[in-house]
Amino acid sequence: MSYPDLADSDRQGMQTALRQAGLPDDDLRSVLKVLDGPNLSMGPQIAAFEKTFCEYTGAKHAIGVNSGTAGLHLCVRAAGIQAGDLVLTTPFSFVASTNVLLFENAVPVFVDVDERTGNINIPRLVEAARDLAAGGKKAEKWLPRTGAGTTRRLKALLPVDVFGQPPDMDAIRLLAGELGLAVIEDSCEALGSEYKGRAAGRLGDYGVYAFYPNKQITTGEGGVIVTDDDKAANFMRALRNQGRAPGDTWLQHTFLGYNYRLDEMSAALGVTQMQRIEELLAKREQVAKWYDERLAELPGIELYAVEPSTSRMSWFVYVVKFSKGIDRDAVAQALDSAGIPVRPYFAPIHLQPYMVERFGYRPGDFPVTEDLGKRGLAIPFSSVMTEKMVEQVCQAIRAVLQALPKP
């Protein structure tokens, strides 16, 4: 059976796009098969994709959505986070982990990070959570200068597995238990990582993975939420589908919802990508190892630490830190001119213009985050890199560092 509305040129266009993305034949065929069938959305592929995530992570529920950001937003709704509620999180992340709180007019309260890993600083997080829960004067020092509102109920923790590495999630769970907080784990960079033998994304009440093309697996755009909570899972399934609860007809909407559905082509791609996940992760690990071997001892460069608690590291990006005194931007520009694409990583969230405007943040508020933001550079990284390509990048870095004017 052929989908009536699809012209041959549509199918050919998709085929060209997938070939250009460098995807293997299995991926290509599975997507083209969807295009030849009757369901482009809400068909069997999304269910199959979700099933692979239940099997891979051990989660009771997996909910496919059309981006990691959409997934995080649904977790915020499911956790009952409302306008004025406080949520402790990190300013050293991709903006989405904070933005999903702003979507609900909740207040992100930042805690600075650990210089070695880029992950949220646990002793400070514990102090902040206890102070905020106590309220009054103690709470004051953690709040932004403006925009905190008056509700001031600490509701949740939103840790991020930065660059693929989970923070100390046992400590975070303990803290959440002590204060009755929900934990949303942003694992959008960490599919395949393990913390003390447990899957990243499964370490809080809710976890979210993302599948933009630079992530460990891709669906073009997409994400998956995992949770063991039946009620939350049903609610998030309804919200993803325009707020339709089970039993609602197409034009009945029990809740205020969204169109966060993942289409069938994307889900089909996800299914075949997940069949190759071990191969993809192993290749990325090999590339990271080639970089480690060449960069660990290079003067002027520091590498992020991988903690003993990270029993398996799933590499999302390879980020180096230049030593203090080295002009990162000059290095980046020189590498760029040499044809090596590099990117500063991350830009502190609290200093984004809309955050400054709303909460009155200033440079110096989260010094470790700002320092890492100034010194960090993501260098080329993907599962298709060869050792020769890695060597070329490293040679270019060595050459640029040597050519820098000596301080």
Ligand X SMILES: *Cc1c(COP(=O)(O)O)cnc(C)c1O
Find the DSSP H helices in 296-382.
Answer: 328-337, 353-359, 367-375
Residue from 219, 212, 211, 261 nearest 236 by CA: 261
Nearer to ligand X, 94 or 359 (CB): 94
Residue whose beta carbon is closest to ligand X: 68
CB of 160 to ligand X, least distance (A): 5
Number of other CB atoms surrounding residue 362 within 10 Å: 9
CB of 298 to ligand X, least distance (A): 26
Instruction: Enter the DSSP assignment of 405.
Output: P
Nearer to ligand X, 148 or 225 (CB): 225
3-state secondary structure of 357: helix
Q: Which residue(s) pair with 194 in the sheet?
A: 199, 312
Q: Which residues bind ligand X (CB under 6 A)?
A: 67-69, 93-94, 96-97, 160, 186, 188-189, 210, 212, 223
Nearer to ligand X, 72 or 396 (CB): 72
Half-sphere exposure of 41 (CA within 13 A, CB side): 9
Q: 117 is written with which tokens? A: 């890993």
CB of 221 to ligand X, least distance (A): 7
145-158 burial string, b = 16+ CB within 10 Å, else e?
eebbeeebebbbbb
Helices 44-57 + 264-275 axis angle, to 10: 30
- Amino acid letter at 326? I
Nearer to ligand X, 162 or 320 (CB): 162
CA angle 360, 351, 405 (to 5 degrees): 135
Spatial distance between the Cα atoms of 162 and 184, rounded to a whole number of angstroms: 14
Per the CB < 8 A criterion, the answer to whether 115 and 371 are in contact is: yes
Spatial distance between the Cα atoms of 20 and 82, rounded to a whole number of angstroms: 43
CB of 360 to ligand X, least distance (A): 24
Nearer to ligand X, 97 or 121 (CB): 97
CB of 346 to ligand X, least distance (A): 8
Spatial distance between the Cα atoms of 319 and 346, rounded to a whole number of angstroms: 10
Nearer to ligand X, 68 or 300 (CB): 68
Cis peptide before 255 (omega within 30 of 0): no
Nearer to ligand X, 3 or 212 (CB): 212
H/E/C letters for each residue in 55-84?
A: HHHCCCEEEEECCHHHHHHHHHHHCCCCCC
CB of 206 to ligand X, least distance (A): 13
Q: 224 is written with which tokens? A: 């998956």
Nearer to ligand X, 220 or 257 (CB): 220
CB of 260 to ligand X, least distance (A): 11
CB of 392 to ligand X, least distance (A): 26
Residue 367 burial class via C-beta count within 10 angstroms: exposed 0-12, middle 13-18, buried 19 and up: exposed
Nearer to ligand X, 111 or 334 (CB): 111
What is the distance in angstroms between the CA of the first residue and the CA of the last residue of the chain? 70
Nearer to ligand X, 89 or 242 (CB): 89
Number of other CB atoms surrounding residue 37 within 10 Å: 16
